[in-house]
Amino acid sequence: MIERTLIILKPDAVLRGRMGDVISRFEQKGYRFVAMKLIQFDRALAERHYAEHVGKSFFDSLVDYICMSPVLVGVVEGEDAITVTRKLAGATHPLKSEPGTIRGDLGFIKGDNMYNTIHASDSPESAKREMGLFFSDEELLDYDDAKTL
């Protein structure tokens, strides 16, 4: 089934110049981007995005992290995009993520801080809610693939 899902290339991807590395993994897998933009989170948007984590011990540090620099938000489209994107991303903790995954290859730990490079929606419901936080329906594009060129 063709799905759309949200990804966020987090501050460590942006600040270390790794956005292209991550984007190319999706393109090499045959997925396409139907929306993309560079944004700066403010605290209110970060708290809405991470609402399911309110009250957890890591909530404030997570919000602070996502607000520290611009991030790239995008919508990926393709067959089973939600499941495949989560597999491409790897386990949340970079040291527990398999080599070959985005987090396994690009994520790292520095002191008490975890930098895991990418956020990926975890369900169809989350993908719909999260895409709506960042993109209007008009910003989600439909277009023919490269086979028509």
Write down the pTM of the prediction.
0.94
Domain segments of the chain as ranges = 2-136
Q: What is the CB neighbour count within 10 angstroms for residue 63?
A: 20
* Mean pLDDT confidence for 25-54: 96
Residue 135: pLDDT band with limits 50, 70, 90: very high
CATH superfamily to which 2-136 belongs: Nucleoside diphosphate kinase-like domain (3.30.70.141)
Q: Whole-number mean pLDDT of the chain?
A: 95
Asked about 93 being catalytic, the answer comes back as no
Q: Which of these is catalytic: 49, 53, 93, 119? A: 119
Reading phi first (left if > 0) and then psi (alpha if -120 to 50, else beta), residue 81 is in: alpha
DSSP state, residue 16: T
3-state secondary structure of 65: helix
